Structure 1
């Protein structure tokens, strides 16, 4: 297989709580007939309810003065939607302390805000006809109260109020239908409304990840309508995600592009996953034709958080997870967050796993206008008896509930990851955003590949890679400037981003051994470990290759009026490789100017339509170890994408998105030569399609995340005429998925949920003679929230692949067997 596999300025708040911690009450709604959701669940339910999100705080000390005067005008772009979300965005943009009671804003919406306003004008505009007003207190903060009842309060008044600072209050909770109003940022564009982003996107919040007991991102991508269920790289946990028919393996970490090798990611450090469907090279650099996955990590909490979770991911994989956060000082300037995980035991098919993860975050407001954070993650992971890769002559069904590898087929990883970012607003006209990332990973991989024979037996091929070292560096610096030309508002961004990856190998690197004995599947797990040779693993570490991606960017976010806007940009992208040691001695560097342009139109406040065009320089790849031309560097490619889309806020917590697209790129494929194929590239591959995603609350009790993708894909040009008209490998033309949650009105604290996930047929080879069958998977489970000894308690149960369906994730990897997972979370 080829290539071996954030943010608006934070503002401080007063986080002290009155007495014991309070929670939003669980709302009781009129009974809905259970039959209303049976059609969504057809085949089973997952019982679930979310822990109420504690968000009550009060002012107990004098707050600092505003960072700008109350008469200063500032440009705002706040979408229509829930009033709470709009007030959060305003608090973040204006840098103010804003307090209100939860009951005041519950169920209220706003028409949004766009243009130049003072703080008080902006607040009055958002509150509109809500029956609420604001008063500016002596300490410079603002309080929301009912009309005709507002009286100025002394600066040190104690009120049962909620104090809001947008970036640190949680979005995408289960109560909100997992719907997120704003994205943390996308490339150089920065934080913005999800609805007013001219790209097809889906956001998966931490609540959903926790509530389905996901031990890695495979479960989440299986549920998402934009993505195929991915193969999870055993030794890093990084998923090989297929979006719009193209595989993307290089993750984006808090807005920084990384290379796949050595980029370990753990679910406990993730706050949300922002999935961009479509070409993203202009935004993040090369190697993401179909889309990009941005893992946005956790920050400190405004309200003290002390949570313990104990659970089982399936089999005997028991784990414990502690999540602790809060503020160091009474003024709420400086905060912390710590996530600790220990996992051990066997998977549902008997693969021993041991994992230890520690994630530490320190963040704070060094001044009223300067925010900074530092994050560190340690990951120690090992797995034995990993399932082999299958090279099939005939695509037969294989029992996924069994293990087919001996325990010595294993992998180990140790990773140290550090990240820091800075956000400075020196004035209302300028913002400076920067971040830097470093990851040092050591790992070893011992893998078995199985070649199917005509008599349905298998001949194993074995590879063993001694400890190797990967270093990933990445960063960006962006300067935003805001100005107007006549009646046109601009946010002009200049910036630079870069990533660098170095791989160091020991001695002669990987050892490859081919067997000459045929084995039945049942015999494979008893294969003895071969002699890898006396020199295996000896020798010093030496650089095998380095890779670099640089981007010089300029972008202008233009607002013509309340209805029309545009986003245009240029990226001078450079991709470079240098090979050393066992891969030979060669290097290359290629640069190209790649443009993007988007036009947005809002016919009504709740609807945004857009057209967009983007080019991307797709980075070159080094051919992986399973091909005859391993180590060969394939030249970089240029891809193009055309997209038309619409986003509609059906209600404050329900977003409908749809898009039509066309992507053009050069084809890459295996030539299927025997005994070992070569990996080559030529011709033109075209993907035309349509996507639809619906996320949020359909009713007070019913939450939906569903949609689908339909594509017409094919190779239009090739040096080999036999390939023209064929479909690319591992690209499903059809997907339809739905995940639903239903809150039982007659049992407070209990939700029923269920999911159906369909993936259409695909082809395993370029000749389209090996067809991977379509499949539908069903998940069920239970989640119940209550209080024990006055502490919140959540019990979750999930059954994954309820029917035990045997299926293929891709051409080489078996699907996930039936797995029962459960967890219990409690506050302390």
Structure 2
């Protein structure tokens, strides 16, 4: 979508009231260098967001700018003799203009200059908050945290990354990661949050619990809330160099909301579906008149029945953030949150005996568990980040996060299908457990030139750990049944013995990483990223007596990464990359005879060739990839083991942005060729891997009715094998979403009404071999900003 700006006769444009924040004096130290690099330094040192078309800054050298002055004065000096002007377009944003008589994008009938699509050269909170807005078709330019590399341009990233930004999260009324994974072009739900377990996602045919929060790693994340998140960033494929030990599927990074420069007061009431009524308040602003300190506060209360019989979700969240520019060079970021998340009747887990086909899926809106089953989490999270610009060439960054996870109640059911048309069930009632998660990082960024070649070297350390306390109390109903799959059978709650036990220390998992990487810029067309991560995995498993249940786990290795990027034209990037990763071996599931055993560490490898291009208002990405890792499965003897290699080759294509001023598109296609090479299942296809994943989400703004937007999505998942021997295949399925939103200021303040219907046809389907897909859900909300 083209952007219109008034033509100006001179370089300097009078500062509007909206740009008052940029009048703050900063101590600039920008040496003479190519203009594009100088603008990046100005963005870093002032926090302002600068948007421009790359070609207008090409082959131009900027003069040095040093000393205390306003951002406006510094920008004016940088652009002197460049033939460029600028226009402030917000309190912390500025757009560069070509001052030539023939503007690059043409001229409108009223004489306004029409610029070509712009890119954003900026860093910091303001850039992220203004990136990926609905008016821009949710097209994002930056990723907030690419492991140790920090904030990075998406087009300059030699990996497959995508972003679900704040306004898209709001507009689809996402309550849990399930809603994000449903709409994101490259992801598929593996384990739903409503199961009571940590959400698991499938990407490129591999599955993972691995997540990060503001770039700080953790192994999994139960009961995830989204109302305090600015965006969800999705990296598909290996992330070993970037995030340390992790599955080859990729990484999900949850980015928390930061304080706002302008006052923010937002109140939303509605339902996330069925009777799940909720209220959400989002507040932000400055603490001091100068804007050096700011706050953000999110509060949520939700309760009520879901679209599944007897299922009820009751949760509470309070989440706060404070940012403080202690000096022009030292910034402190603090976060704290507390949440309680209770689920009555979590989704039941299904497994089928060998030779028994899944067949048609039963009614997903029925309670296939028991009415007395419930699950509860209580989480407290604290984190802090400190960034210090030692000088204009060295930046030091440090961060630490701790989360306390208490689980006072955890009931679950498993359904075993031993013959077609009937199932057995076991109900498990477990005692209290808890976990303490820690994550930390310390990095130094050093920029320098070697002749005409620019370098940004990042070196440092990051880690995460999970300490667990388990319970010896876990009575169950034993296997009961059989029951018909035509209708669930509910029984009274059994009388379980009184829990007199206390949680015992079960052990830990730790991952330590030492990393160094170099982002190399040869010239305006060629660049590279090279690096290596030494990753070490350590774990210990204890029983109630403190005795080791297996030998301690302590394995480490180097994981290299190398990428080359080429820009044949300013709006396109072509890249090739190679990356390796270390992954802790899987843990034998409770359906295997060696339950709890940890497998040997696995080394994964990925080769990828990709392209990223901005065409009109759309960001297009494409990638060819080849990934391999050890194959893990439960063999015919019921033992969970490793045997052979799992290899996935495929192509991945995504598109995000504005097709026209009225039409927004978000979609993608992944086509996979997945095989097991060697071992017992040589030549077979891995289970729960769909050959084709295709998604399309659209928004259309009705020209005749200002503020009215129609929305809809179609999501296709191809056939999957439901077991390792490939004799039970799940049918392909397609689900549809429809919705609308209407924004008006007739009541004095912006009011947005949203209506979304997911799985509008109420289709029943097997999401994978273990879980049913979600039934039809109708969500409605009203949001007022004041």
State whether residues 263 and 439 of structure 1, in contact with CA within 8 Å, keep that contact through their aligned partners in structure 2.
Answer: no
The partner residue of 1:667 within 631, 634, 659 is: 631
The aligned length equals 729
Q: How does 1:113-152 map to 2 (within 5 A)?
A: 117=62, 118=64, 132-133=85-86
Query: Does the alignment pair 1:609 with 2:578?
Result: no
The partner residue of 2:529 within 557, 562, 567 is: 567
Q: Distance in 1 between matches of 2:225 and 2:357?
A: 36
State whether residues 404 and 522 of structure 1, in contact with CA within 8 Å, keep that contact through their aligned partners in structure 2.
Answer: no
What is the aligned partner in structure 2 of residue 95 from structure 1?
A: 46
The partner residue of 1:529 within 474, 481, 493 is: 493
State whether residues 236 and 265 of structure 1, in contact with CA within 8 Å, keep that contact through their aligned partners in structure 2.
Answer: no
Q: Distance in 2 between matches of 1:667 and 1:142?
A: 51
Change (3 A) 1:327 1:805: same
Query: Does the alignment pair 1:697 with 2:697?
Result: no
Change (3 A) 1:687 1:165: closer
Q: Indicate the structure whose relative CO is greater, using CA pairs within 8 Å and at least 6 residues apart.
A: 1
Cα deviation for residue 129 of structure 1 reads 9.0
Q: Distance in 2 between matches of 1:283 and 1:611?
A: 16
SS in 2 for 1:514: coil
The partner residue of 1:411 within 375, 389, 399 is: 375
Cα deviation for residue 538 of structure 1 reads 2.4
What is the aligned partner in structure 1 of residue 31 from structure 2?
A: 72
State whether residues 366 and 488 of structure 2, in contact with CA within 8 Å, keep that contact through their aligned partners in structure 1.
Answer: no
Q: Distance in 2 between matches of 1:827 and 1:92?
A: 29
What is the aligned partner in structure 2 of residue 487 from structure 1?
A: 452
What is the aligned partner in structure 2 of residue 160 from structure 1?
A: none
What is the aligned partner in structure 2 of residue 473 from structure 1?
A: 438
SS in 2 for 1:195: helix
Change (3 A) 1:224 1:143: closer
Cα deviation for residue 66 of structure 1 reads 2.4
Q: Distance in 1 between matches of 2:769 and 2:591?
A: 14
Cα deviation for residue 471 of structure 1 reads 0.6
Q: Distance in 2 between matches of 1:730 and 1:390?
A: 14
Q: Distance in 2 between matches of 1:60 and 1:672?
A: 70
What is the aligned partner in structure 1 of residue 117 from structure 2?
A: none
Change (3 A) 1:134 1:290: closer
State whether residues 743 and 752 of structure 1, in contact with CA within 8 Å, keep that contact through their aligned partners in structure 2.
Answer: yes
Cα deviation for residue 546 of structure 1 reads 0.5
Query: Does the alignment pair 1:739 with 2:697?
Result: yes
SS in 2 for 1:92: helix
What is the aligned partner in structure 2 of residue 548 from structure 1?
A: 510
Change (3 A) 1:428 1:389: same
What is the aligned partner in structure 2 of residue 225 from structure 1?
A: 185
Q: Distance in 1 between matches of 2:160 and 2:604?
A: 17
SS in 1 for 2:155: coil
Query: Does the alignment pair 1:359 with 2:310?
Result: no
Query: Does the alignment pair 1:294 with 2:258?
Result: no
User: How much is the aligned-residue C-alpha RMSD, in angstroms?
Assistant: 2.9
Change (3 A) 1:236 1:415: farther
Cα deviation for residue 611 of structure 1 reads 0.5
State whether residues 384 and 411 of structure 1, in contact with CA within 8 Å, keep that contact through their aligned partners in structure 2.
Answer: yes
State whether residues 171 and 180 of structure 1, in contact with CA within 8 Å, keep that contact through their aligned partners in structure 2.
Answer: yes
Cα deviation for residue 109 of structure 1 reads 4.2
Q: Distance in 1 between matches of 2:35 and 2:605?
A: 32
Cα deviation for residue 717 of structure 1 reads 1.1
Q: How does 1:333-732 map to 2 (within 5 A)?
A: 333-350=292-309, 351-392=311-352, 393-396=356-359, 397-443=361-407, 444-454=409-419, 456-506=421-471, 508-521=472-485, 524-534=488-498, 537-581=499-543, 584-651=549-616, 653-673=617-637, 677-718=638-679, 720=680, 723-732=681-690
What is the aligned partner in structure 2 of residue 757 from structure 1?
A: 715
What is the aligned partner in structure 2 of residue 330 from structure 1?
A: 289
Cα deviation for residue 516 of structure 1 reads 4.0
Q: Distance in 2 between matches of 1:660 and 1:126?
A: 40
Q: Distance in 2 between matches of 1:441 and 1:389?
A: 23
Change (3 A) 1:75 1:361: farther
TM-score (norm 1): 0.83
Cα deviation for residue 92 of structure 1 reads 3.0
SS in 1 for 2:181: helix
Cα deviation for residue 533 of structure 1 reads 3.3
Q: Distance in 1 between matches of 2:94 and 2:480?
A: 77
State whether residues 237 and 266 of structure 1, in contact with CA within 8 Å, keep that contact through their aligned partners in structure 2.
Answer: no
The partner residue of 1:199 within 145, 159, 174 is: 159
SS in 2 for 1:433: strand
State whether residues 327 and 335 of structure 1, in contact with CA within 8 Å, keep that contact through their aligned partners in structure 2.
Answer: yes
State whether residues 545 and 579 of structure 1, in contact with CA within 8 Å, keep that contact through their aligned partners in structure 2.
Answer: yes
State whether residues 563 and 575 of structure 2, in contact with CA within 8 Å, keep that contact through their aligned partners in structure 1.
Answer: yes
Cα deviation for residue 94 of structure 1 reads 3.2
Cα deviation for residue 98 of structure 1 reads 8.2
Query: Does the alignment pair 1:274 with 2:239?
Result: no
Does 171-180 or 222-231 show the bigger shift? Answer: 222-231
State whether residues 362 and 486 of structure 2, in contact with CA within 8 Å, keep that contact through their aligned partners in structure 1.
Answer: no
Cα deviation for residue 387 of structure 1 reads 2.4
Q: Distance in 1 between matches of 2:25 and 2:673?
A: 58
What is the aligned partner in structure 2 of residue 248 from structure 1?
A: 208
State whether residues 222 and 228 of structure 1, in contact with CA within 8 Å, keep that contact through their aligned partners in structure 2.
Answer: yes
Cα deviation for residue 792 of structure 1 reads 0.4
The partner residue of 1:209 within 169, 177, 186 is: 169
Cα deviation for residue 191 of structure 1 reads 1.2
State whether residues 483 and 489 of structure 2, in contact with CA within 8 Å, keep that contact through their aligned partners in structure 1.
Answer: no
Does 354-363 or 583-592 show the bigger shift? Answer: 583-592
State whether residues 111 and 126 of structure 1, in contact with CA within 8 Å, keep that contact through their aligned partners in structure 2.
Answer: no
Q: Distance in 1 between matches of 2:248 and 2:502?
A: 37
What is the aligned partner in structure 2 of residue 186 from structure 1?
A: 146
Cα deviation for residue 700 of structure 1 reads 1.0
User: Runs of 5+ in structure 2 lacking a partner?
Assistant: 5-14, 66-72, 101-121
State whether residues 736 and 758 of structure 2, in contact with CA within 8 Å, keep that contact through their aligned partners in structure 1.
Answer: yes
1:695-730 residue CA offsets vs partner (Å, 9 max, x unmatched): 011111111001100111110111x1xx11111111
Cα deviation for residue 76 of structure 1 reads 7.4
What is the aligned partner in structure 2 of residue 789 from structure 1?
A: 747
Q: Distance in 1 between matches of 2:560 and 2:97?
A: 48
TM-score (norm 2): 0.88
State whether residues 664 and 687 of structure 1, in contact with CA within 8 Å, keep that contact through their aligned partners in structure 2.
Answer: yes
Q: Distance in 2 between matches of 1:98 and 1:386?
A: 45
Cα deviation for residue 523 of structure 1 reads 6.1
Q: Distance in 1 between matches of 2:527 and 2:98?
A: 35
Change (3 A) 1:284 1:812: same
